[in-house]
């Protein structure tokens, strides 16, 4: 599949798997998607992930995480910067998502970071997505 916006495709697959109550979802792999997946795991929003090698670009198998009552841990994912309209923020302009309950995922000169980490590193960048 040739997606115009692979990051939006990834977020949509995670959002759909979460709302459907699936244990796993699989997405095509790329370096950027692996970095975003690492952030989701570090923040405790997914149980884990595994890279699956194949003859092509590979796949990422993500283990979804739910609360004890079966509610998805990921309440929302929103794509911010798009191929047609890039959104950049300086460190002073980084948004607080849901009153500090969520975070933004950014690409910065220091790598892919959460908005919380970007503030401590004193660096801004392109805002990829909001997660809460």
Answer whether 7's CB lies under 8 Å from 131's CB: no
131 near 120, Cβ under 8 Å? no
Residue 73 inside a domain? The answer is no
How many domains are contained in the chain?
2
Structural domain span for residue 105 = 80-131
No. of helices (H) and no. of strands (E), the chain: 3, 8
pLDDT at position 2: 60
- What pLDDT score was predicted for residue 95? 86
- 53 and 16 part of one domain: yes
Q: Quote the mean pLDDT of the chain.
A: 95
Rounded Cα–Cα distance for residues 110 and 123 (Å): 8
pLDDT at position 1 is: 53
Task: Write down the pLDDT at residue 99.
Answer: 85
Read off the CATH number of the domain in which 92 is found: 3.30.1490.10
pLDDT < 70: residue spans in the chain: 1-2
Task: Say how many C-beta atoms besides its own lie within 10 A of residue 85's C-beta.
Answer: 7
Q: How far is CA 65 from the centre of its chain?
A: 14
Residues 59 and 84 in one domain: no
């Amino acid at each position: 599949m040739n997606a115009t916006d692979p990051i939006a495709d990834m977020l949509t697959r995670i959002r759909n798997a979460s709302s459907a109550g699936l244990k796993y979802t699989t997405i095509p792999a790329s370096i950027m998607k692996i970095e975003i997946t690492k952030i989701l795991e570090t923040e405790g929003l997914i149980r884990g992930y595994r890279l699956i090698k194949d003859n092509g670009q590979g796949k990422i198998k993500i283990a979804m995480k739910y609360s004890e009552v079966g509610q998805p841990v990921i309440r929302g994912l929103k794509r911010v910067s798009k191929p047609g309209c890039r959104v950049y923020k300086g460190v002073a302009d980084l948004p607080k998502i849901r009153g500090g309950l969520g975070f933004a995922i950014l690409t910065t000169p220091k790598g892919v970071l959460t908005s919380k980490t970007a503030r401590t590193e004193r660096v801004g960048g392109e805002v990829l997505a909001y997660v809460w």
